Amino acid sequence: MATITHERWKCIGCGACASICPAHWSMSSGKAKLKGAKYEKTDNGEFGTKTVEEAGCCKKAAANCPVKCIHIK
């Protein structure tokens, strides 16, 4: 199991994650969205998380995110 976290407030909308890993990422309102994630707005910004069996292509998306706002653990 892996938990994927998207620090959406940091996202610059470059689209790399959606093109590398369309199974998990799409673009919406100029920023990325982690498909099926629960997004919450907090005092520290907007975050989305979801748990998956396998991080799969999210690893490549995280590695290629220019602002490093995709985290996997």
Site residues (CB under 6 A) for ligand SF4?
Answer: 11-17, 32, 65-67, 69-70
Min CB(52)–ligand SF4 separation in Å:
16
Min CB(6)–ligand SF4 separation in Å:
6
Q: Which is nearer to ligand SF4, 1 or 48 (CB)?
A: 48
Distance CA 55, CA 31 (A): 20
Q: What is the DSSP string of 2-66?
A: EEEEEEGGG-----HHHHH-TTTEEEETTEEEETTPEEEEETTEEEEEEEES--TTHHHHHHH-T
Q: Which is nearer to ligand SF4, 28 or 51 (CB)?
A: 28
Min CB(4)–ligand SF4 separation in Å:
11
